[in-house]
Structure 1
Amino acid sequence: MNMVTVFINGIEYNLKGDEQEEYLHKVASYVDKKVKSIIKNNSKLSTSSAAVLSALNVADDMLKAQEKEGQLSGRVEELERVGKVYEDQISSLRKQLRYTEELNAELKIKLKNSSSSEALKEKDEKISKLEEEIKIIKEEAQKYMNENTKMVAQNKELKFQVQSGKYKIIDLQHKLEENQISLAKERKKKNALLNNGVK
């Protein structure tokens, strides 16, 4: 367990935690900025009142980050579903393409074996139609593959954002805990001062 000495609004605190010292200083700095910002906006506030308002601000940041993470998770799931649909469509188009190419090959073989000029003309037309179908199917398959590639990239980016959001929530939870510790210490000092004043 690490222990560091930090200053929050000019008051010294000893923080203990399993995290690295650098992280504990970062948490303390965050809380210090929140408290100073609140006191700057209302100089009549006591340190304990500023600590409470800081805790509320940190809790607000954390809840908003959790909400955003939930939204991003939903978007990732939606993109995964759409990506699956595109993959199924691409697979279906590939099957159609193979079937059409096989028909085209069969017609070409039959065409070579046919001697009738009318039959040749008819088969030429069928080949042209099949070639046009192949072209359309290839274009559709390419379109779906391009869209699928974009969806995969977007999905990857959203997963990264979700992971970042989780880390941010963890960070905010730590900051909230440290703020609560700071508030408890401030109350303890205040009570001690009040008790000393009563005596």
Structure 2
Amino acid sequence: MNVVTVFINGIEYNLKGDEQEEYLHKVASYVDKKVKNILENNSKLSTSSAAILSALNVADDMLKVKDQNADLSKQVGELKKVEKVYEDQLNSLKKQLKYTEELNEELKEKLKKIQNSGQLKEKDKQIEKLQEEIEIIKETTQKYVKENTKIVEENKELKFQIQSEKYKIIDLQHKLIENQINLAKEKKQKNPLLNKGTR
């Protein structure tokens, strides 16, 4: 467990936690800025009132991030459905392409056998038509491959955003706990009767 000394609104506190010292300092700095910002806007507030307002602000930030995270999760779910549809279409097109290529090879073999017959021109037309169809299928397949790749990249980005938002929520939860601890300390310092009762 790490123990670090931090200052919040000029008051020294010892923070304990399993997180890295850098993270604990970051949490304290965030809370310090929140408290100072509230006191700058209203210098008549007591430190405990500023701490309560800071806790409310942190809780508001945390809830908003949770809502954003829920929205992003929903979007990822929808993108996964779209991605599945594109994958199915892509697999179907690949099967069609494979079948067409096999058919093309078969026709080429037949063409060799009838090169000297009068059917050559007709077969040439059929081959040209099939080759055109193959090109169309290839272009369509490439289009779906590109779209599928784009969706996969967007999916990765959304997953990264969701992970980032989760870390923000954890960060905000730690800050809220720190504010509650600070508030309890402030109350204890303000009320000498409570201090005597705990001895």
Normalising to structure 2: TM-score of the pair? 0.90
Letter aligned with residue 171 of structure 1: D
Counterpart-to-counterpart distance in 2, 1:188 and 1:109: 94
Q: Which residue of 2 aligns with 1:82?
A: 82
Q: Provide the secondary structure at the position in 2 that maps to 1:73.
A: helix
Residue 185 (str. 1) matches residue 180 (str. 2): no
> 1:90-105 counterparts in 2 under 5 A?
90-105=90-105
Residues 144 and 191 of structure 1: CA distance in aligned 2, closer, same or farther (over 3 Å): same
2:12 maps to 1:9? no
Residue pair 2:189, 2:195 contacting (<8 A) in 1 also: no
In the alignment of these two chains, the number of paired residues is: 195
The one-letter amino acid of 1:61's match is: D
2:46 aligned partner, one-letter code: S
1:55 partner amino acid: A
- Displacement of 1:141: 0.6
Corresponding residue of 2:112: 112
Matched-pair contact (CA < 8 Å) for 2:4–2:16: yes
Partners in 1 of 2:139 and 2:120 — Cα distance?
Answer: 28
Which residue pairs with 1:63 in the alignment?
A: 63
AA at the equivalent of 2:99? Y
User: 1:195, CA displacement in angstroms?
Assistant: 8.8
Between the aligned partners of 2:16 and 2:97, the Cα distance in structure 1 is 66
CA distance in 1, matches of 2:144, 2:85: 10
Say whether 1:161 aligns with 2:161: yes
Matched, 1:50 2:50: yes
Q: What SS does the corresponding residue of 1:45 show, helix, strand or coil?
A: coil
Report deviation, 1:18. Answer: 2.1
Distance (Å, rounded) in 2 between the aligned partners of 1:151 and 1:136: 23
Instruction: Say which SS state the counterpart of residue 13 (structure 1) adopts.
Output: strand
Give 2:19's aligned residue.
Answer: 19
User: Using a 3 Å threshold, how does the CA distance of structure 1 residues 195 and 90 change in structure 2: closer, same or farther?
Assistant: closer
**TM-score, normalization: structure 1?**
0.90
CA distance in structure 1 between the partners assigned to 2:165 and 2:140 by the alignment: 37
Distance of 1:194 and 1:165 partners within structure 2? 40
SS at match of 1:44: coil
Structure 1: segments with no counterpart, 5+ residues: none
Counterpart Cα distance in 2 of 1:20 and 1:150: 37
SS at match of 2:28: helix
CA distance in 1, matches of 2:127, 2:52: 79
1:116 CA drift (Å) = 4.2
Q: Which runs of 5+ in 2 are unaligned?
A: none
Aligned residue in 2 for 1:39: 39
CA positional deviation for 1:193: 7.7
Deviations 1:104-147 (A, max 9, x none): 22222223323542x32322221111111100000011011111
Q: What SS does structure 1 have at the residue aligned with 2:44? A: coil
C-alpha contact (below 8 Å) 2:188/2:194 kept by paired residues: no
> Counterparts of 2:47 and 2:105 in 1: how far apart (Å)?
85
Distance 1:195 1:138 in 2: 80
Aligned-residue sequence identity (percent) comes to 75
